[in-house]
Amino acid sequence: AQSVTQLDSQVPVFEEAPVELRCNYSSSVSVYLFWYVQYPNQGLQLLLKYLSGSTLVKGINGFEAEFNKSQTSFHLRKPSVHISDTAEYFCAVTLKGSNYKLTFGKGTLLTVNP
Amino acid sequence: NAGVTQTPKFQVLKTGQSMTLQCAQDMNHEYMSWYRQDPGMGLRLIHYSVGAGITDQGEVPNGYNVSRSTTEDFPLRLLSAAPSQTSVYFCASSYSGAVPNYEQYFGPGTRLTVT
């Protein structure tokens, strides 16, 4: 079975600073990887996904993530954050051919302070 | 398109009561699923469906039933509510056709409190 570990439950940063949210996964077979964002009192929205091809994936709102197969990681980065990026971020994985079942990490709360 | 809709937005139940959480999507997606979100736990899969008439259990199915009679609707039934089912419930759908994109579209959630 696959699992996802988000290494930080909370990440406070100042506005315009860079940020990295860390995600590691474990799986014995090939996976697809995702980052979702949840703004307060809302549902989840896809930020970006890795299915195949280039290991550097660009998403919405200036976020990007890099798939590292040897490290089994999929860290999310943004070079300069805004107050509006304050939200909870979830890393998720699905096994190729698994009927789309997502396994989520426990989430990282990103708080951007002025 | 309305996307994925869920009703109700909020619900309070007493222990032992039953209810149905409604989920509908208008994107003609074959795959639909239900998750529950608890603080510090992320989202956990309750049940899912790969098409009308086909459902299967996820990670935490106990105490919940589902059915899928149409492509559009995927209701979640709580048979006898327990305080441990206090949570926020999300429904999601995904296109699983010839060229799937694997993106799941989430509804706005139902916040359920069981007293």
Q: CA-CA distance, B31 to B56, in Å (whole number)?
A: 11
What percent of chain B is modeled with pLDDT above 70?
Answer: 100
Binary contact (A105, B96; C-beta < 8 A): no
Q: What residues in B contact A44, CB-CB < 8 Å?
A: 43, 90, 92, 104, 106
- Classify the phi-psi angles of A100: left when phi > 0, otherwise alpha if psi is within -120 to 50, otherwise beta: left
List, for residues B21-52, the tens digit of each pLDDT value.
Answer: 999 999 999 999 999 999 888 999 999 999 99
Q: CA-CA distance, B32 to B24, in Å (whole number)?
A: 9
Is the confidence at residue A100, as pLDDT, over 80?
no
Binary contact (A104, B44; C-beta < 8 A): yes
What percent of chain A is modeled with pLDDT above 70?
Answer: 98
Min mean pLDDT across A26-30, A84-88, B49-53, B82-86 is at A26-30
Mean pLDDT of A79-96: 95
The reply to whether B90 touches chain A by the CB within 8 Å rule is yes
Q: What is the pLDDT of residue A41?
A: 86
- Classify the phi-psi angles of A107: left when phi > 0, otherwise alpha if psi is within -120 to 50, otherwise beta: left
Beta bridge partners of B78: B19, B64
Q: CA-CA distance, B16 to A52, in Å (whole number)?
A: 47
B window 60-89, beta carbon within 8 A of A = none
pLDDT band at B99 (very low <50, low <70, confident <90, very high): confident
The reply to whether A58 touches chain B by the CB within 8 Å rule is no
By Cβ distance, the residue of B31, B35, B109 closest to A100 is B31
Q: CA-CA distance, A65 to A48, in Å (whole number)?
A: 8
User: Which residue matches tokens 């209810």?
Assistant: B19
pLDDT band at B102 (very low <50, low <70, confident <90, very high): confident
Distance of CA A63 to the CA centre of its chain: 9
Size (chain B), residues: 115
Mean pLDDT of A65-94: 96
Binary contact (A102, B104; C-beta < 8 A): yes
The reply to whether A102 touches chain B by the CB within 8 Å rule is yes
Is the confidence at residue A99, as pLDDT, over 70?
no
Rounded CA Rg of chain A: 14
How many C-beta neighbours within 10 Å does residue A10 have? 10
Contact B88, B42 (CB under 8 A): no
Binary contact (A100, B102; C-beta < 8 A): yes
Q: Which of the 8 DSSP states describes residue B75?
A: -
Q: What is the pLDDT of residue B101?
A: 75
Binary contact (A44, B90; C-beta < 8 A): yes
